[in-house]
Amino acid sequence: MMEKTVYLTSAYLAPIEYYAKLYACDQAYIERYDHYVKQTYRNRCIIAATDGPLALTIPTEKSENLKCPMKDVRISDHGNWRHMHWNALVSNYRNSPFFEYYADDFRKFYERKYPFLWDYNQEICELVCNLIDIHPQMKGTTEYRTEFAEEEKDYREMIHPKRDYRTEDSFFVAEPYYQVFKEKFGFLPNLSIADLLFNMGAESLLVLQKCIKSCK
């Protein structure tokens, strides 16, 4: 199902479902004015690890405003998270077919300090889109909208770690692909896009296509 315009939250190394939306649209608006909520994909991604799915969470600074807009959320240096996240990616994907190929592209995001979470997420998202070879026109929102035209689709709250895509999203099917730990855990669906990219490389695009086609 190809869509003209979609609205999405900002997300850290977002799940495959998120990138399926980017693949299937002409234009995507990434929300900047929603209230920041913890325990969402805004600051969390889920990768495959030796013990099963592993959540990597970016710490954020506490805001004086209880309803802080996403665009103003600042990244905290607490817990040396950049080092921990990069080590997690290296240790769990170093044996994947394409980790070494893409490592330098991702390493810089764990060496440079970004003040704002939205900017950090968006730069990673733009990199991933280029690596996979999908090119939606992406823009940050200029206001928070609650009403949409018929050709506009709002996925801002649908793609969420506590919501089951199988019941929430009728336009997405998690197409199986090779995973490093598949023999140990079976296929782990809808992990971070990093899992797909490190395991499938350029064929990631074909997997995204099947995610869309399968849901017709």
Cβ-Cβ contacts under 8 Å for 201 (sequence gap 6 or more): 97, 98, 101, 102
The per-residue pLDDT string of the chain (216 residues; one tens digit each, 9 = 90 and over) reads 567 999 999 999 999 999 999 999 999 999 999 999 888 999 999 999 999 999 999 999 988 777 899 999 999 998 899 999 999 999 999 999 999 999 999 999 999 999 999 999 999 999 999 999 999 999 999 999 999 999 999 999 999 999 999 999 999 999 999 999 999 999 999 999 999 999 999 999 999 999 985 443
Pair 180, 93: CB distance under 8 Å:
yes
pTM above 0.75, yes or no: yes
Rounded-to-integer distance, Cα 40 and Cα 163, Å:
10
